[in-house]
Chains A and B, each alone.
Chain A
Amino acid sequence: MTLHPAPLTTPEGIGIWVGAFLTFCVLSFLYKDNPFYKLAEHLFVGVSAGYYIILNFWTVIYPNLYEPLRKAFAGHGVTERTGMFAAELGDYRGWLLFPAVLGLLLFTRLFGRIGWLSRWSLAVIIGVYVGIQTTGFAQGDLVAQVQASLQPLWTGKLGSSLNAIIFTLGLVTSLLFFFFSREHKGALGVASRIGVFFLMIGFGAGYGYTVMSRVSLLIGRFQFLLEDWLGIVR
């Protein structure tokens, strides 16, 4: 095992040392809260907020709004047609003034008295996502899943038939657990209790996978420290 730490002579190398220092600042929180952790935390929030501003400006506002509007004011667009409002699918030219104005109206939230103007922008956002998600959930999560659940309970083999029965029983009883229009008594009570058992197995499996996810994040950090920072080579 030999040590080949990142060089301090290149910007990339210095960056790795900075990254390692900040990593230890954050990990120091495990001992107790301290000024190094607070410094790193505030540095992270500042850099993140600044990064989100500049990212959304250059990747969305500039190419999807400013550039098409600039071309539209010159009477051009993506297609051959001329005219500021000569829009067609994918080429909206001057009509993009509408989202431009709505986007600026969002900032009225920062000014108390005229903050209600931002509701118009929010209404468009909410309307778009409500429409998209209603159909998405209906088609992707309801219809397709019901279709896939309609499977034969007898497959010709005992093992897979038993599995199909267990699956269907689990699905139906779990769904019945979420039926709150009637009190869970009698047959419904028994069914929903069985459903709870299946749900607990599901949550237990989810917990197991969550542990895997969290541990792997720590593994990744140690791999950065050992491989990129210290360059430990075997």
Chain B
Amino acid sequence: MSTSLDTSPRATDEAGASDAPSFGHARCLICRACGAEQPLGPFYACQECFGPLQVAYAFPKIDRSSIEAGPKNIWRYRDLLPVRPDIASIPNMEPGYTRLIKADNLARELGIRSLWVKDDSGNPTHSFKDRVVAVALAAGRELGLKILACPSTGNLANAVAAAAARAGIESVVFIPDDLERAKVLTTAVYGGRLIAVKGNYDDVNRLASEIAGEEEGWAFVNVNVRPYYSEGSKTLGFEVAEQLGWRLPQQIVIPVASGSQLTKVDKGLTELGELGLVEPTPYRIFGAQADGCNPVAAAFRDGHDVVRPVKPDTIAKSLAIGNPADGAYVLDTVRRTGGAVESVSDEEIRDGIALLARTEGVFAETAGGVTVATLKKLVETGQLDPDRETVVFNTGDGLKTLDAIADRLGPTATIDPSYSAFRAVDA
């Protein structure tokens, strides 16, 4: 028996204010390509040009103290998100406010002066996707949508299934049928429907787009409520700035799948500056991809401003989107900020996972291996300035992608249970 998203309690104030949909300070949806505006609704493509819609706001004055007084999760930034003011009081996964680790060991190894790791594996389902799903769920609730759904490369599948379970509503998750077993199990455990599709992520995504166009009442988090969903990624940028003491880093390395996260972190940092919450100091944004799925890195390298789709073939399945929706906007962002997009081989990704674990005690999934390996490559090729303060993102937990490193790791030695046997190998 499923429950509708819109049956969850919506708070009304003591004066009995109306229970009308609320998106906080969000004003409308606006097309990134042509600038056409649409009312806030379950729309993701511009009626005029098919371009991507994003949320536009009419922010009031917001100060640091009101944020700092908020909960230790993404809802401390609720005034900067398209959510109702009382969002924190509605049952949800309470994601965010993950660790920002001063990574001195890794910095020393790579020859970087000051380096931080934003470790988003600390979220409730162990990836940054809990952030975006929380905002998408909030929007779906306001829009009266009844089923939480997504096409996913795995991390999003976990986040959607868990968030729906916590909210007491129905979920339907579509995944490629070759997904890592860990990500299948860590989705299925939450209940809900899990549909394995014979194809790659781009095939699954296409199917989801078709279903979203036909079925009433579905909140496909990264399709028809994508403008709201993607706003959740801004909180990564907000947290980095707040955790640095309300200032912006000089360089950030971010993984690129669809490119949504990278562009929204930039949007978030820009908003902080515009609102006077930080000094709007310049920063450079770098994108990280796997060689086996590097359409944005290839377009950057070749000087193109559009992205030619590829067929993915990489161990970094969470980044294996061959036709990235926001690819062109990633190119715009990195070029505008003086950054770059690079890609690394599967072997370099494995090395990146091992390097981060060995130096900082952080076990990243393959996407984190991609960012760390890309950081290394950017330093070695002179594209990233080692003298500037840098933040590298780890967006997921290595326990989800054990297969990627299973062949290269194991016990240092296997010995008989005797002291002499131990002495023999403890040279």
Answer whether A and B are interacting partners: no
